[in-house]
Amino acid sequence: MKKAPLISFRYFFYDFVRLTGWPLLIFFRPKKIYISKAAKNGFKGGFIFMANHNSLKDPFYLIACLFRRRHHFVTTNEVCSTKWRRFLFKTCFLCIEINREKFSMSSFKEITTHLERGNMVSMFPEGHINVEQDELNPFKGGVVMMAYKANVAIRPVYLEKRKHWYSRLRLYVGEEFFVKEYLGNKVLNTNTVKEVALELEKKEKELEILCSNYRNRA
């Protein structure tokens, strides 16, 4: 498994923002709660960090929860609508720009190349912020195809919605999920992509239940 470079000039702005912003960890007090002992392993090399989407602050929460890794966030082209925003999000926050209405092969290749090089790609497979919160939105199939092409694991995580500005940040972490292992002898096609996407939704809902149980015990 390839490892991302520890030092690289292309990450100068991102690393500068991350290192100067470390005091926020004291404020957020991030806590990771694992669904099993096996879920504590597998945070090296390239993989997809897959999370639910509650608010615009979620990318910053994910960075705080897994501070030691560089997050390459998949984001829509609406976010990078101006030159200044594009510089901010693509250079300072390593965002990978995609068109939600018409996903291009160039974006797909950029994401899979990052994964094959040992970088971590963070994404929200619901496709947009879930305002309702009662139910997860259906997952997009892109996360399945990216993981399959790059032959990397998907790491499902669940961000607990913070009730107050001073609430502790909690992330519920699931086990590694390998698309090729799940499919076995099946080929990747439209039907199996939907099948795997539904399985990932199931994994995310298990973490949502873990979150609910943890809150009830607290």
Task: Give the pLDDT confidence of 196-209 residue by residue, as tens digits.
Answer: 999 999 999 999 99
Task: Give the pLDDT confidence of 89-143 residue by residue, as tens digits.
Answer: 888 778 888 877 776 788 899 999 999 999 999 999 886 666 555 567 778 888 9
The gap from C-alpha 194 to its chain's centroid, in whole angstroms, comes to 19
Q: Say if CB 48 and CB 152 are below 8 A apart.
A: yes
Amino acid, single-letter form, for residue 34: Y
Under DSSP, is residue 157 helix (H, G, I), strand (E, B) or coil? strand
pTM of the model: 0.90
Rounded to whole angstroms, the Cα distance separating 122 from 93 reads: 11
Percent pLDDT > 70 in the chain is 90
Percent pLDDT > 90 in the chain is 56
Q: Say if CB 74 and CB 121 are below 8 A apart.
A: yes
Task: Give the pLDDT confidence of 154-168 residue by residue, as tens digits.
Answer: 999 999 999 888 999
Rounded to whole angstroms, the Cα distance separating 47 from 114 reads: 9
| HEC string for 78-139 | CCCCCHHHHHHHHHHCCCEEECCCCCCHHHHHHHHHHHHCCCEEEECCCCCCCCCCCCCCCC
The average pLDDT across 19-48 equals 93
The average pLDDT across 76-83 equals 78
Rounded to whole angstroms, the Cα distance separating 17 from 141 reads: 32
CATH placement of domain 9-217: 3.40.1130.10
Task: Give the pLDDT confidence of 10-30 residue by residue, as tens digits.
Answer: 788 888 888 888 888 999 999
The gap from C-alpha 135 to its chain's centroid, in whole angstroms, comes to 19
Residues in the chain: 218
